[in-house]
Structure 1
């Protein structure tokens, strides 16, 4: 599917952003917020001031934006259902199923200024993350924001975000997408030539777009739609399910990596690798016959290719 190097779940120190099973709702990945925002705020604010300052001071700010994990999605359905997902270019476009408000665009560049968003979230009393460290960061960044110190571009974005929030309930397109589509961007890394009348393949950022599939299913209530998806964090955030009239009727979704049995890790690692890299020899990335990573396997394969 793609030329990216798989990420080995078992080598990660951080847990993959794992969506819930489709019988509930697939989550928004890293953007989950607490259902009890006041508790999260109080937990941060109740820290002793000296401890709070010490912990915040230890956090190193960065201007780098982390690239998302790319999730490969394969949808199989009737020609009529597949066609309804495609735009005039023959590409999957979530706006065909769940349209977005055109005036949510900020300045047309697609870039979102962090100081604008922090100020808007402060003014709207946006609940912080349910992760204590992230909540602390969010609150500090919001309290540091100042409309008087913004650039003209940032200030204009701040005003537009406030207007969008009042009118639509969302600050900008990405905010809307996370809530409406379950992922922050539209479908990407796809080719009209690779799609067929009954099957499409595309990628999404961080999460599988379950809300889009649910809406598509309700639009065609008599159709059975089959889905496979896999995160490049191989073995985590992946699985299969079928859905009819908005209800999941069958599923096999990977638990979080730390909760998987040895058998499950082997199964879902192989499943995810073959979904994302169907034409690739697993040894190229160090997977042995049991789909366990072994650096020696990778080195042996590399040597074999050089001598061929």
Structure 2
């Protein structure tokens, strides 16, 4: 399971409305849309490996990951896939040709900065806030797209990882660019005072009570 990052976006109602779909939910597709199709809930690894081989997908830059990928791809054989796996394989190739990405998760990682859409949502347009969780990171590309669509408005974002005190901070955007960033450093790079500051910040963003050991 990923670490969940809580994000709170503050802006006028008409700005935040740009992230709300027809069902009233926060939806990154309203700003950055996957043009392909992938009607399955899960991604079959065997189908994906076959798609990677036949499309000449480069190996990961990390040597250990590249070694694992290469080992897995050696056994890839599209003719041995079952019917559903084969349909996924074919659709991945269609998507790759059309969009440059095999499936919606591949697209999301590259274009949203997180592998899933907004989770655990709490939109409050009247109050001018959107609160939602994302996997591993703050969805910076989505925020930049929102800001670019409303260039005259300054948007403020606070975010905090469940790894309390790490991967958290405040972002301000205008005209599609970050105009200020106040973010925590790596945990071991911070002084004790900085660690305590960012822990308090993260607990407030998450809406959690401090753990006894953090006192």
> Normalising TM by the smaller chain, what interval?
over 0.9
Unaligned runs of 5+ in 2: none
Higher strand proportion (structure 1 or 2): 2
Query: Are positions 1:132 and 2:63 aligned together?
Result: yes
Q: CA deviation at 1:264?
A: 2.3
Task: Report the Cα distance in structure 1 between the residues aligned to 2:191 and 2:214, rounded to whole angstroms.
Answer: 18
Residue number in structure 2 paired with 1:86: 20
Is 1:97 the counterpart of 2:28 in the alignment? Answer: no
Measured in 2, the distance between the counterparts of 1:137 and 1:170 equals: 21
Distance 1:177 1:267, change over 3 A: same
Contact 2:4 2:135 in 1 (8 A): yes
* Aligned partner of 1:226 among 156, 170, 177: 156
Verify: 1:72 aligned to 2:6, yes or no. Answer: yes
Give deviations 1:195-230, integer Å, cap 9, x for gaps.
Answer: 544111001111111001001111111100000011
CA distance in 2, matches of 1:165, 1:88: 28
Give yes or no for contact 2:165–2:200 (8 Å, CA) kept in 1: yes
Superposed displacement of residue 80, structure 1: 1.1
Residue equivalent to 1:189: 120
Check 1:233–1:159 CA distance in 2 against 1; reply closer, same or farther (3 A cut): same
Which of 183, 187, 195 is the matching residue for 1:257? 187
Deviation of residue 189 (structure 1)?
0.5
- Cα-to-partner distance string for 1:5-46 (whole Å, 9 max, x where unaligned): xxxxxxxxxxxxxxxxxxxxxxxxxxxxxxxxxxxxxxxxxx
Quote the Cα distance in structure 2 between the aligned partners of 1:245 and 1:150: 48
Shift of 1:129: 2.3
Q: SS of the counterpart of 1:74?
A: strand
Give the whole-Å Cα distance in 1 for the aligned partners of 2:175 and 2:29: 20
Aligned-pair distance for 1:149?
A: 2.2
| Mapped pair 1:287 → 2:209 | no
Following superposition, which runs of at least 4 residues in structure 1 exceed 3 angstroms of deviation? 194-197
Counterparts of residues 191-230 of structure 1 (less than 5 Å): 191-192=122-123, 194=124, 196-230=126-160
Deviation digits for residues 221-257 of structure 1 (CA, Å, limit 9, x no counterpart): 1100000011112122111110111221121112222
For 1:243, the equivalent position in structure 2 comes to 173
The corresponding residue for 1:110 is 41
Distance between the aligned counterparts of 1:183 and 1:254, measured in 2?
19
User: CA separation in 2, counterparts of 1:257 and 1:125?
Assistant: 39
Aligned residues: 215
Which of 1 and 2 has greater Rg?
A: 1
Q: Is the 8 A contact 2:47 2:89 kept in 1?
A: yes
Task: Give the Cα–Cα distance (whole angstroms) in 2 for the partners of residues 136 and 262 of structure 1.
Answer: 39
Equivalent residues of 1:83, 1:197 under 8 A apart:
no
Structure 1 residue runs of 5 or longer lacking an equivalent are 1-66, 290-308
Rate the CA distance shift 1:263–1:124 in 2: closer, same or farther, 3 A: farther
Give the Cα separation in 2 of the matches to 1:287 and 1:77. Answer: 35
CA deviation after TM superposition for structure 1 residue 151, in Å: 1.7
